[in-house]
Amino acid sequence: MSNATAIQAISDLEFSAEASLHGEVLGVKLVGNADLNVKVQLDRFMAAVHDQGVALKVREVAVDLRRLEFMNSSCLKSFVWWISTVQDIVEPPYRIMFLSSPSMYWQRRSLNALACLATDLVSVQV
C-alpha cells in the first residue's frame, strides 16, 4: 500500500477524505459528514482522484463510505460530475465501486441513484 500523494487529503471539522494506492486499485475513504461546508474541498479532491486514477492506470477506484454519516446533494453532485467525467471517456479508464454500510440509511437510496447513472461503470457493495 502506498499513499497517492498527489491527492491532497481533506481534514475538516466534521469530514475527512484520503486516498491510497493498493496495487491496481485506488482506495478512497470518506469519513464524517459531507455537507455544504466541504463542497469546494470535495470537488477538488474528486478531480485529483480522477487525474491520479488515469495517471496511475488503475483498474478500479474503490470509495469506502462505510463511516460517512451523511452526504448532501451538493456533495453528491461531486460524484455525479466524477461519474459523468469517466463516462465521457470513450474507453473508461477504470471502474468505480462504492463500499457502503447498511446502517447508513442515506446510502441505500443515494448510491442507487448514482449507480443508475452508469450501470456498466459503477457498482455498490454492501
Partner 1 sequence: MARSGLNFELSLDPNPRMVSIVRRFVEETFEKLVGDPDAIFRISMAAHELLENGAKYAVGRRAVLRVVLEERETGASAQIAITNETTKDHVERLRTRVAEIAAAEDPFALYQTLMKRTSKIRDESGLGLARIRAEGEMALGLEVVGNTVTIVASAQVPGRPSTP
Binding site for partner 1 (CB under 8 A): 14, 33, 35-37, 43, 70, 72-74, 76-77, 80-81, 83-84, 105-106, 108-110, 113, 116-117
Distances (CA, A) of 97 to 21, 29, 83, 111, 120: 15, 12, 11, 10, 11
Residue with smaller CB distance to partner 1, 1 or 90: 90
- The C-alpha angle 114, 116, 117, rounded to 5 degrees, equals 70
Q: Rounded to the nearest whole angstrom, what is the least distance from the CB of residue 56 to partner 1 in the complex?
A: 24
Q: Rounded to the nearest whole angstrom, what is the least distance from the CB of residue 22 to partner 1 in the complex?
A: 28
Residue with smaller CB distance to partner 1, 72 or 123: 72
Residue with smaller CB distance to partner 1, 27 or 32: 32
Q: Rounded to the nearest whole angstrom, what is the least distance from the CB of residue 119 to partner 1 in the complex?
A: 11
Sign of dihedral through CA atoms 79, 81, 62, 45? negative
User: Contact at 8 Å (CB) between 64 and 104?
Assistant: no
Strand partners, 61: 26, 96
Residue with smaller CB distance to partner 1, 52 or 78: 78
